[in-house]
Amino acid sequence: MIPEHHRKIIHIDMDAFYAAVEQRDFPQYRNRPVIVGGSPYSRGVVATCSYEARRYGIHSAMPSAHAYRLCPQAVFIKPRFDVYKEASIQIRQIFSRYTDLVEPLSLDEAYLDVSDADALQGSATLIARAIKEKIKQQVGLTASAGVSYNKFLAKLASDIDKPDGFYLITPEQGPEFAEQLPIGQFHGIGKVTSAKMQSLGIATGKDLQQLSLVVLQQHFGKAAAHYYNICRGIDHRPVNSQRVTKSVGVETTFQQDITSRQEILLHLQELLDTALQKAAEKQLAAYTLTVKIKYHNFVQVTRSRTLPYTVTRAAELLEELIKNTDIGESSVRLLGVTLSSLENKSIGKRYEQTDLFRDF
């Protein structure tokens, strides 16, 4: 195993990926605010937007209607996921010229471990710059790259000089870099944990360093060791080129709220059929089914059931999951279905999980 300070990790993050693909393919959209996502006249949201649109305060997951109010002259485009996937495949083929240790996080970002790479004298800096240049030449898109000795710092580095950025954090710089970071920017510290730390007077990495591992364990249990390390710039996570799919899910937002219990069940059945099809394409079977319901007032609930057998399209299970909800009384704006606790059919191995992640 390579010592952490001897590892060479690159994080590649495509710049405004979906919007950049649209601007590449349609010259009339270049240098204009482009928003990829739902229609501004619907309940859709922004999937991503060009840097020209970001100047107006528009960002991913913002309701499209609100984005339109901020920038009515923006070009709104429906996503073309098949085209984005094709570009992503081209980009990953470029990665493979330098290392087999590639961990895709999504269509537009990935970690690369080039610790043992032979190309370009084994220099992570030169490899990252070469990858950026090849993506620009061969795919027609720009990427930002971060280079460091672990995944946590490499990902932070890739965001520093966007777009078309490059940033290096050396082993000597890592601890000091972590000291000045706001707590919310540390890997594994979400909003709830961040708020708890703030209440304890912890606002930065340096503040977190003042607490001993014993004290952290008293407040944060098993996660304490991770927090103790990460604030010192230590992250032992390997680049995993064999990532296991942890869940498969789909959801839909309705143009108009729906109330009919029967109509809701029909929509859930369609979503389940789609999720099962996606799982089958990956040769996966699921033991856990989760239903997500968002009401007209944005209150959201989930109901989950783990079975002793694999999930099928049985309507009875959907009926059971929505039994103790407000369906039929409160109108619904969004429904979602997620399959988890997955088993790879080809090798018969079951993967347990506690967190739910959603694929496109």
Q: Which residues are marked as active site? A: 109
Task: Give CA–CA dist 63/9, Å, rounded.
Answer: 35
Task: Give CA–CA dist 290/315, Å, rounded.
Answer: 14
Per the CB < 8 A criterion, the answer to whether 42 and 15 are in contact is no
Q: Widest CA span of the chain, in angstroms?
A: 66
Alpha helices (H) along 71-190: 81-95, 124-138, 151-158, 174-179
Residue 100 structure tokens: 């087999």
Per the CB < 8 A criterion, the answer to whether 15 and 143 are in contact is yes
Task: Give CA–CA dist 205/136, Å, rounded.
Answer: 36
Per the CB < 8 A criterion, the answer to whether 334 and 254 are in contact is yes
DSSP 324: T
> Could you identify the residue written with the tokens 């485009």?
77
Task: Give CA–CA dist 128/106, Å, rounded.
Answer: 18
CB atoms within 10 A of CB 15: 18
